[in-house]
Structure 1
Amino acid sequence: MKKTNLNQLTEYIVNIIRQTHKNKINSLSLSILYMLLGFFISTTLSTIPGQTGDWGIIGAAVIVTFYERISQQTYPLRFKNSLTHVFINRINYIKIGILYGLFVDAFKLGS
């Protein structure tokens, strides 16, 4: 097959992703970044629907559904390749960030 610019770009991106996962410091940084992303998502989910007062139950149902689906995929941990394992772990970090953000919002409302 002929090497095109698209093939070279794809190989370059795949090599960068592979090198990123080999370095533990980058893995820790990405984990913290995904947890902060989850914190931002939880803040968004708790403030925007709260403006009208009608969407609290629907927002809670979406969060619980998201949590249960991710837990269902995460905890058996029988993946065919390591890329799927890394992807599910990153989503799990987002889930942890959402939980942390909701606890912080609950403490803000309690005080």
Structure 2
Amino acid sequence: MQNTRLNLLLASFSNQAQQFFANPWRRISLLLISLLFGFFMALAISSIAGQRGDLDVVVAAIMLIFTEVVSRVAYRNNRNNSGLIDFLNLFKVGLTYGFYLQAFILGS
């Protein structure tokens, strides 16, 4: 690629972000926020889809495809995952946990 101003700006932003998240406490806190945000989104999605009533199958299919794609990307043979893949994986874990918890709440 050419060294345009936009490319240089994106490269410097990427380097600054990698240095910022190199600190283990910041990384752990962002992973925890990703997990909790996935849990929150599961509760929000199940409430919205349950209220509408006609989107249940579509939302379930979209969530299933999302979790399977994230699992395939995260659990490939090479374990040299980037931070974004780890964040997506923990988002998926929180999403799945939230859906299971919501199913137990609605089932009782």
Smaller-chain TM-score range? 0.7 to 0.9
Residue pair 1:77, 1:85 contacting (<8 A) in 2 also: no
Q: Percent identity?
A: 33
2:93 alignment partner, SS class: helix
TM superposition shift of 1:12: 4.9
- What is the CA deviation profile of residues 8-43 of structure 1, one whole-angstrom value per residue up to 9, with x for unaligned ones? 754553233112231111111000111111112111
Aligned to 1:17: 17
Mapped to 2, the partners of 1:77 and 1:22 lie a distance apart of 24
Letter paired with 1:51: Q
Which amino acid counterpart does residue 58 of structure 1 have in structure 2?
V
Q: Gaps (5+ residues) in structure 2?
A: none
Q: Secondary structure at the match of 1:40?
A: helix
- What is aligned with 1:94? 91
Which residue number corresponds to residue 27 of structure 2?
Answer: 27
Secondary structure of the residue aligned to 1:76 is coil
TM-score w.r.t. length of structure 2: 0.80
SS of equivalent to 2:82: helix
Equivalent residue pairs, number:
107
Normalising by structure 1, we get a TM-score of 0.78
Aligned residue in 1 for 2:61: 61
Gaps of 5+ in 1: none
